[in-house]
Amino acid sequence: MAAGPAFVPFTLPGERVLATGSGERRELVEVLEASPERTAPVCPHFGTCGGCALQHWDHAPYLAWKVERLAGTLARQQIDTEVLPPFAAQPGTRRRVALHARRGSREAARLGYKARKSWDLVDIAICPISDPAIAAAIPALKRLAAPLFEHPKSAPTLHVTATASGLDIDISGVERKSGGLSADARVQLADRAAEADFARVTLDGEVAYQARSPQVRLGPATVALPPGAFLQATAQAEAAMADFVAGQAAGAARIADLYCGVGTFTFRLAAIAPVHAADSAPDAIRALSAALATAPGLKGVTAEARDLVRRPVLAEELRKTDLAVFDPPRAGAAEQVAELARSGLARVIAVSCNPATFARDARTLIDAGFTLDRVLPVDQFLWSPHIELVGVFSR
């Protein structure tokens, strides 16, 4: 039988292992000769929970492997650039998690992450990656989810965000065809939210309970979050990226902040130069605009709700702009980048959660005369294969 590569989860380079299965994908049975880089996982759910894949690897080689993968993704697009030392998130800093709920008892649902290679649920007791406020609230979140199962097809997900004013929970996946939650279930939901002192609970964006407006600090501004708003996964990674972006933006005369969300970079950039911010989410733009009153002394911000796929900001609209920053979803920003490439911009800064689509978009800019000067790798999804980055272009 011809030998070929085999991919075995929970192994490390150089190890000798016993594995089962056939083809390229195998399952680990036993580690016969362990790597010196192997370490004890910190979570009792590791190996069954699908949330973390790399807790068994020492931090330094784990991080180096992530950066190497990023460099390899860029190389496939024939892109060579300076790769800066990476930012690495620490345990206990994830402020945004999605927890799946399944029917349990009347008092507490089962709650956790999906199991590896399965739709089954791993009912978690702890979560070492999560902000302590989220980790401590797991029992209360299980109680909160218990009234959500009136319809047999309900499969709720609790999108939990730790904010300065408490936990904000947006619940999706509750069956609506039967009329949604009954009045009794809504009362139970609100009572349990109050009991846990949550800031807000929403059902697909509709407020079911609110004690306080969930707020976060973004640079000099305080932003009241709309339900389900996007935030960077850790506040520390957000600060590292924002500081880097602001440093690379120094000297700009007018800035476009595209896919701006609720203003992750907007407020910091507006301390440098006037900013035009655009995003497809009207709620995010309203939150950003309202937060301007909390940050006096900025150079000026205009904001618009605009679908940057169907209606990208055109090269002609960027005539008086010398720097564009964009932070798109995983699909990248092909349509918007085509306009940036056509424009007369001197500098572009790209923030990306997907190295593959970043490399594709970077190639478009490079082919238009830009140089990718440097890349900052950002590891904020700890113990996963996922890595993010900030890229700085000039011409």
Catalytic residue list: 353
Token reading at 132:
């302590």
* Residue 190 CB partners (closer than 8 Å, separation 6+): 201, 208, 209
How far apart are the C-alpha atoms of 256 and 251, rounded to whole Å? Answer: 14
Q: What is the DSSP string of 293-358?
A: GGSTT-S-EEEEE--TTTSPPPGGGGTT--EEEE---TT--HHHHHHHHHS--SEEEEEES-HHHH
What 3-state class would DSSP assign to 125?
coil
For the chain, the first-to-last Cα distance in angstroms comes to: 54
Residue 36 one-letter amino acid: P
Q: Tell me the two tokens of residue 236.
A: 């520390």
The distance of Cα 99 from the centroid of its chain, to the nearest Å, equals 14
Rounded Cα distance between 264 and 266, Å, is: 6
Residue 195 to residue 181: CA distance in whole angstroms: 20
Question: Using an 8 Å Cβ cutoff, are 55 and 129 in contact?
Answer: no
The contacts of residue 10 (CB under 8 Å, 6+ apart) are 28, 47, 53, 56
> How far is the C-alpha of 381 from the C-alpha of 51, rounded, in Å?
10
